[in-house]
Structure 1
Amino acid sequence: MSDAIDLPLDVPEIASTISQGAHLRRTVHPSGLRILTEWVPGAASTSVGFWVPVGSRDEDAVAYGSTHFLEHLLFKGTPGRSAMDIAVAFDRVGGEHNALTAKEHTCYYAKVQDRDVDMAIDVLADMVSSSLLDPGEFDVERRVILEELAMAEDDATDVAHEHIAQAVMGEHPLGRPIGGSPESIEAASRDQVLAHYARYYRPDHLVVTLAGAVDHDHAVRTLLDALERYGWPLERQDAPAPRRSTTALGLPQESTKKVIHRPLEQSIVVLATPGLTQTDERRSTAAVLTTVLGGGMSSRLFQEIREKRGLAYSVYAYASHHSDAGLFGMAAGTSPEQVDTVARVMQEIFQDVVAEGITREELERTLGNLQGASSLALENTDSRMVRLGRSEIHTGEFVDRDEALRRLGLVTRESVQDLAQHFAEGPLSAVAVGSVSDTALDSVGSAVAD
C-alpha cells in the first residue's frame, strides 16, 4: 500500500492488505467495542493487547495514580480466577503477560503461541471486565506500589524525566507522574478506584488488538463470547468513545530550571522544550532531528560529549508525543562537576543545527538508520500489536511500513532545520539531579534548589 488507512469510528468493517503481505482488519461492534488484527505471514506467535484510552492525565476526579493502581489490581483476581490462576495460565504455556499505564492509555497484553490465543483472549477479557478489586488485595497492592515509587525515586534518570515533564507541561495533568505520589497513593480509596474502573472499563472504550498468527473472525467470536460470559452488556448499542482532541495545548512559555540534590556518584542533566503532538505531520522530521542530535553512536551529542570530550557515558536526544502536546529534549549522565559544561555543550550542538542545519551525509545516514530500525521492529509481533493500538486510540490512521518509509523519505535538510528553529523559539527548561551545586545550570539560566 502507499497511503495511510483512515480509521473512522463510524465504519463497522475495514480490511486491507498492507506491506510485507500482512493483512489488516478492523471490526467495530455495535456496543462500541473495537477489534483490530494484523495477520502476519509465517508468524507462529500472537501478541494480544486490551487497550483502554485512560491514563494518568484523566485523574482529576480521583486520587492521582489511580489509573496505575487499577492496572495492578486487575491482576489480583476475578470471580472465576485467583491471581495465581492468572499467572499460571500464561506460565504453563511459556507465554508472557503484563500491563502498562501511560499518560493517555492503559494496556494489558500477552504474547503466546498461536495455539494459545483463545486462552490469552479469555484470561485478559476476564481481568478487564470482571476484576474483584478485593479490599484486602487493595491494601497489599498499595504497599507494592509504594515500593515501586520508592524504587523510581532512587533512579536519578526517572527523577530527572519526571521533573522535566512537570517543567515543560506546567500545571497540566500531562506533567504529573504516571504512578502518582506516595501521598496520593496513601490517600487513594477503593471506592475511588472502583469508580474509575466503572467509568472507563466499558465496551465503548475498549480496543483489542492482535498481531501475528491470528484469524480475525475467530478472534472476534472468541472475544465476544468471553466478554458476554463475564457479564459485559454487549447487547447495548453505543458508539465508540471519541478520540481525544488534537488541538495543541497552550503550554507555559516560561523556562523552569531545577536542581535536585541527591548523594550520587553520577548526575543527570535534562534540557527540554515543548514538542509536537501525535498527529503533527512533522513527526518524521522530529525523528530525524533527534537521531542526528543524539540517536546513536554517530550522532552529534555522542561524538562531541562522549567520544571527543569523555564527559558522559550516556547522552541522547528524545521526543515524546501526546494527543495535544509533546516534548523535545536532550539528556546526559555525567559527573557532578561537569553538569554545567555538558548542559552548555548540548545547547551549543543544538544551536549549530538551528543556525547551519544538518549535512547531506547526516540526512542520508539518519534515514538509513530510521528505515532499518522501523523494518527490524516489525519482526516482533509485540511492535505490530502496539502499532495497531496506538493507531486506533490516538492517531485515527494506520501507517504501515511502506507508508512510514515514504514519509521519512520526504524529510529534507531544510525541514529539519526549520523544526530545530521552531523548537529553539520555545522556552528551554532544565533539570539536574545529583550531588551538584545550586549553580550547576547557570549556562541555561537561574536554577531553583530543591
Structure 2
Amino acid sequence: MPPAVHTLANGVRVVCDPIPGLQTVALSVVAGRGARWEDAARSGWSHLLEHMVFKGAGGRSARDIVEVIEAQGGNINAATGYERTSFQVRALKGGLDLGSAVIADLVQRPAMDGGDLAREKQVVGQEIAEAADAPDDLVFELAQAAAFEGQPLGRPILGTPASIGTSTAETLGAWRAALYAPQTLVVSAAGAVDEDDLLRLAERDFGQVRGDSLEPPERAQFAGGMRPVAKTLEQATLVLLLPAVGVRDRDYFALRLLAEILGGGMASRLFQEAREVRGLAYAIDAYSETYADTGVLGVFAGCAAKDAEELAKVAAGEIAGMLTPVAEAELSRAKAQLKGSMFMGRESALARAEQAAGQVLLFGATLDPEAVAAEIDAVTPADLVRLTGRILASRKAAVAVLGPKAALKAAPAFEKALFG
C-alpha cells in the first residue's frame, strides 16, 4: 500500500516510506511553490533565495551547514523549479534527526545577511552568464520563452541580473515567508526511517512554521512563436515545442508514451529515421514536460547547419505520423520502457521521497505504483491518435534554433511542414 500522509496542525504534510534493508535515509522537504509564483519584477528570486539560505541559518555558518551533515556521512542539496523548491539530505541510518533540524533552519531561520546577498547576486549573475554561453541551455530557454511569452513559465528560473538585483535582505525574507508557507510544505522521508520517529521530528522542526499566502498563478497559455538566433557555433541546436497536457489530465500517460515512441530511445521513430536512415543528426530525442495545468511535447536535436531544415521537416513528419494508430508491439515496447523507468527510479530512496512529495502536492496523496502501471497499460493506440489531434489542433508551435545562419530556416520549415 502507498505510505500514509499525515497532516500537522499548521498544514505541513508528512510522508514516511520505509524501505527494508537500507542503511541510509533520504529526507526531502518540498515547498509546492517556485518560479511560477514570481512576477516579472521578482523573476529569479526563488532561486536566489534557495542560494541565500545556505549562506547561514539557525546559528550555523555556510561552512557549518555542509560540514555538520558531511561529518555524519551525508550530503545536502537543494533545487528550484517552476512549481516547487526542494531541500534534500541523504544520510546514514540514524542521520534523520540532524538532517531534519538543518533543513528546518534553512527553511525558517536563514540569516539573510546583506553582505552575503551582494556576493550571491554576483554568483547567480555568473550562473546566468554561463547558461547564456551554453548552447544546450540557451536553446531551451529560447523555446520556453516562445512557448509561454509574457508568463512566469516563459521566464528563466534563474531570472536576470536586473530582476535579482532589486532584491534586498528584507524583501527576500518576506518572499521566503510566502514561498515556504506551511500549507505548501511536504516533509517526505524514505529508506531507513521509522514512521513514529519521522512524525516526532516533523512536529518538532516544522510544526511551528508560519507563513503568508500567495495567489495561485494564472493558468498558462501556450503562445508559440519562432526564436531563430544566429551564433557562431560548429553545430546547430533545435528545440521544437508543441502544446500538450498537464500532469492532472486524463491523457498524461498517453503523452508520456507518445514522447517515448517518438524519441525516447534508440528504437524510437525519430532516432531511427533522422539518425539511422538519413544520417541527419547524432543526437535527437523527444520528451514531455508537464506542469499542474499544462505541458509541452518537445523535440531536441543537434545537427550540421546545412541539415537543420531537413531535420525539422523529418520531425514534423514523425509527429504527424502519430495520427495513424501505432502497432501494438511498438506501444507495448514504449509501455515497458515507461514502467521500467518508473520502477527502477523507485530503487533510489531520494527519488522515492521526492516523488511522494510531488504526488502529495499535486493529488493530496501518494500513488500506488501498481495502479500507475495499470494506467500506463490501459493506454490504447486510439488514445495516442486522439491526443495527437489535441496537440495539433491549436496549430501553434514554439521553435528555437541556435547556430549558423544556414540553420535558421529550420524554424519556419517545421511549422510549415506540420501545419501547411
Same fold (TM over 0.5): yes
Deviation at 1:430, TM superposition (A): 1.0
| Uncovered stretches (5+) of structure 1, i.e. residues with no partner | 1-16, 19-23
Query: What is residue 230 of structure 2 aligned with on the other side?
Result: 261
- Structure with the higher fraction of residues in helix conformation: 2
| SS of structure 2 residue aligned to 1:75 | helix
- 8 Å contact from structure 2 (residues 47, 157) kept in 1: yes
Find 2:314's aligned residue among 333, 345, 356.
345
Distance (Å, rounded) in 2 between the aligned partners of 1:442 and 1:31: 52
> Per-residue displacement from partner, 1:152-172 (whole Å, max 9, x unpaired)?
111212111112112112222
1:173-212 → structure 2 map (5 Å cutoff): 173-212=152-191
Q: Work out whether residues 246 and 293 of structure 2, in 8 Å CA contact, stay in contact via their aligned partners in 1.
A: yes
1:214 aligned counterpart, secondary structure:
coil
Give how far 1:338 is off.
Answer: 1.4
> Which region of structure 1 is more displaced relative to structure 2, 312-321 or 68-77?
312-321
> Match of 2:24?
45
State the partner residue of 1:441.
Answer: 411
Does the aligned pair in 2 maintain the 1:110–1:120 contact within 8 Å?
yes
Q: Is the 8 A contact 2:7 2:13 kept in 1?
A: yes
In structure 2, the residue corresponding to 1:32 is in which secondary structure? Answer: coil
Conserved 8 A contact 2:184-2:361: no
Contact 2:50 2:80 in 1 (8 A): yes
**Aligned match of 1:403:** 371
The corresponding residue for 2:301 is: 332
Contact 1:168/1:272 (8 A) holds in 2:
yes
Match among 275, 285, 300 for residue 254 of structure 2: 285
Q: Aligned to 2:56, what secondary structure does the other structure show?
A: coil
Query: 1:43 deviation in Å?
Result: 2.2
Q: Which residue number in structure 1 is paired with residue 384 of structure 2?
A: 416
> 1:57-116, CA deviations, whole angstroms, 9 ceiling, x for partnerless residues?
111285210000000011111242111111102222231211110001111111111221
- 1-structure distance, mates of 2:4, 2:215: 20
Counterpart residue type for residue 393 of structure 2: E
Match of 1:273 in 2: 242
Q: Deviations over 1:230-249 (max 9, x none)?
A: xx457xxx9x979968x964
User: What amino acid is aligned across from residue 184 of structure 2 in structure 1?
Assistant: H
Instruction: Choose which of 327, 331, 348 in structure 2 pairs with 1:359.
Output: 327
- The answer to whether the 8 A contact 1:166-1:176 is kept is yes
The alpha-carbon deviation at position 197 of structure 1 amounts to 1.1
> What is the TM-score when the length of structure 1 is the normalising length?
0.87
The residue correspondences of 1:12-27 to structure 2 (distance < 5 A) are 17-18=1-2, 24-27=3-6
1:391 matched residue in structure 2 = 359
For each residue in 1:208-252, what CA deviation from the matched residue of structure 2 results, as whole angstroms up to 9, or x when unmatched? 111111112211212322347xxx457xxx9x979968x964433
Q: How many angstroms does 1:201 deviate by?
A: 2.6
Q: 264, 284, 287: which is aligned to 1:318?
A: 287
Task: State how far apart, in whole Å, the 2-side matches of 1:233 and 1:286 are.
Answer: 38
Q: Which runs of 5+ in 2 are unaligned?
A: none
The 1:347–1:61 alpha-carbon spacing in structure 2 relative to 1, beyond 3 Å, is closer
Letter in 1 for 2:302: G
* 2:9 partner SS: coil
Structure 2 distance, partners of 1:202, 1:258, is 37
User: The residue matched to 1:398 in structure 2 has which SS?
Assistant: coil
Cα RMSD between the aligned structures? 2.1
- Deviation, 1:297, is 0.6
Aligned AA (2:385): Q
Inter-partner Cα distance in structure 1 for 2:168 and 2:137: 26
Contact kept? 1:53, 1:106, Cα under 8 Å: yes
Code of the aligned partner of 2:335 = L
Could you tell me whether the CA contact under 8 Å between 1:125 and 1:223 is conserved in 2?
Answer: no
Structure-1 residue corresponding to 2:349: 381
**2: CA distance, partners of 1:300 / 1:118:** 49
Trace 1:127-206 onto structure 2 (pairs within 5 A). 127-206=106-185
Within 1, Cα distance between the matches of 2:98 and 2:329?
50
